[in-house]
Structure 1
């Protein structure tokens, strides 16, 4: 009886020891459960104060300055491999209310502040592939294979850091139209997951 029990235990150990261990950043089912979904901004801070809503009260809080920013999405898609997809796919989609400034007299976008110009916002975004670092603390967004027509509107994030509580901190360089003209600055936005459905 002891020999049978020892033999069974040895076989169990041998079989369980043969399983190949998977790197945490390659474990698609676990990563899908942990990160797949849509995220909304809970904070968005510019590196300097700006008056983007032209109310005369500059602020670094972009959720206060850009009305539609609070309803834009950061979307993380984690799929495969499966019968429809030969390789795994990690996709990073970031929306942003992009400024479109237009002077109806010149029919152009002004290069400096123009009191006649109108400012409109259009929610747009870009989808890019990404990788996780080994410790699942950073997201490395991959550059576009084909350069985008307007790279200043869809900048590659400078960094994307995973935080506790289903949150991701993304740093971008954005271009804004202000009473001082066009300004380029770093923006740090923290997104929180609100749904796992995409």
Structure 2
């Protein structure tokens, strides 16, 4: 029996996107067929600088007080020109 594994590098995101006219924001279109938990669509994506993206996501997390919806802001930055 083979162990279960997930190849994250080869999983495509199931959403289409477009850029704002000034190229400062990325609009991610809704996809009704996408799994809303596994492939949650970001609330917004901003291009902060030439090599930086800021994503805003809403997630439901489990806490001692029950399920809470939280906003998570993530800053992605490119560190090399190879990747």
Is the TM value for this pair above 0.5? yes
1:175 aligns with 2:34: no
Contact 1:152 1:175 in 2 (8 A): no
Instruction: Give the C-alpha shift of residue 130 in structure 1.
Output: 1.0
Q: Which has the higher helix share?
A: 1
Q: What is the TM-score of this pair, normalised by structure 2? A: 0.70
Instruction: Give the C-alpha shift of residue 143 in structure 1.
Output: 1.5
| Deviation digits for residues 9-48 of structure 1 (CA, Å, limit 9, x no counterpart) | xxxxxxxxxxxxxxxxxxxxxxxxxxxxxxxxxxxxxxxx
User: If you compute each CA radius of gyration, which structure gives the higher value, 1 or 2?
Assistant: 1
Partner of 2:19: 132
What's the secondary structure of 1:136's corresponding residue?
coil
Cα distance in 2 for partners of 1:158, 1:136 equals 17
Residue 168 to residue 132, structure 1, CA distance change in 2 (3 Å): same
Instruction: Give the C-alpha shift of residue 129 in structure 1.
Output: 2.0
Instruction: Give the C-alpha shift of residue 145 in structure 1.
Output: 5.1
Q: 1:193 aligns with which of 74, 78, 83?
A: 78
Q: What is the TM-score of this pair, normalised by structure 1? A: 0.33
Which of structures 1 and 2 has the larger relative contact order (alpha carbons within 8 angstroms, sep 6+)?
Answer: 1
**Unaligned stretches of 5+ residues in structure 2:** 1-7
Cα distance in 2 for partners of 1:129, 1:193 equals 22
Structural RMSD (CA): 2.5
**Unaligned stretches of 5+ residues in structure 1:** 1-123
Residue 145 to residue 181, structure 1, CA distance change in 2 (3 Å): closer
Cα distance in 2 for partners of 1:147, 1:155 equals 8
Instruction: Give the C-alpha shift of residue 138 in structure 1.
Output: 0.3
Aligned residues: 74
Instruction: Give the C-alpha shift of residue 135 in structure 1.
Output: 0.6
